[in-house]
């Protein structure tokens, strides 16, 4: 028998891919058919397919249904990237989420982010300057 599970998801605003939220993460947690968000929304999301950055509001999250055997949930996953800003004396950190192959190395995911050249405001005067040495990438398990 195939067991169906609920997932909370949003669509990538750039390419329309379905992005499944992990059951429990920095973003929030599942509560049956509800999703209880944490205070991180709206989030910075980078579409590595098209190399564009966008902000995703929690309003975009909706309930979907799929089976646990849907291959994309094994192949793809949500990654959390934290980057320290390399601008002069800036000590700010910026958090980015990206939907990427689950079996990639953190280095590859960081490269994919750098290739997308994300434009995210750091202060009133500059955008976050990303540098591989100041970035960490962590795959969030579903
Ligand atoms: Zn996309
Ligand atoms: Zn900065």
Is residue 65 within 8 Å of residue 7, measured between CB atoms? yes
DSSP one-letter string for the chain: -PPPEEEEEEE-TTT--EEEPPSEETTEEEETTEEEE-TT-SEEEEETTTTEEEEE-GGG-EEEEE-TT-THHHHEEEEEEEEE--STT---EEEEEEEEETTS-HHHHHHHHHHT----B-SSS-B----GGGEEEEEEP-
CA of 5 to the centre of ligand 1 (A): 23
Q: Which domain holds residue 136?
A: 5-140
> Nearest ligand, CA of residue 91?
2
User: Would you state the pLDDT for residue 66?
Assistant: 73
CA of 88 to the centre of ligand 1 (A): 31
CA of 96 to the centre of ligand 2 (A): 14
- Answer whether residue 71 shows pLDDT above 70: no
Q: What is the pLDDT of residues 74-117, one digit of tens each?
A: 788 999 999 999 999 999 999 999 999 999 999 999 999 999 99
> Nearest ligand, CA of residue 127?
2
CA of 45 to the centre of ligand 1 (A): 9
How many domains is the chain built from? Answer: 1
């Amino acid at each position: 028998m195939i067991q169906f599970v609920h997932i909370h998801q949003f669509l990538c605003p750039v390419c329309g891919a379905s992005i499944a939220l992990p059951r429990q993460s920095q973003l929030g947690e599942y509560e049956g058919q509800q999703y209880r968000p944490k205070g991180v929304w709206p989030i910075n999301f980078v579409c590595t397919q098209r190399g564009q950055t966008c902000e995703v509001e929690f309003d975009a999250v909706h309930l979907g249904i799929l089976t646990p055997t849907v291959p994309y949930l094994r192949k793809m996953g949500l990654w959390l990237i934290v980057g320290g800003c390399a601008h002069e004396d800036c000590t700010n950190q910026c958090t980015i989420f990206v939907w990427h192959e689950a079996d990639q190395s953190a280095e590859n995911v960081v490269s994919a982010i750098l290739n997308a050249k994300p434009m995210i405001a750091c202060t009133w005067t500059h955008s976050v300057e990303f540098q591989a040495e100041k970035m960490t990438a962590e795959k969030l398990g579903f």
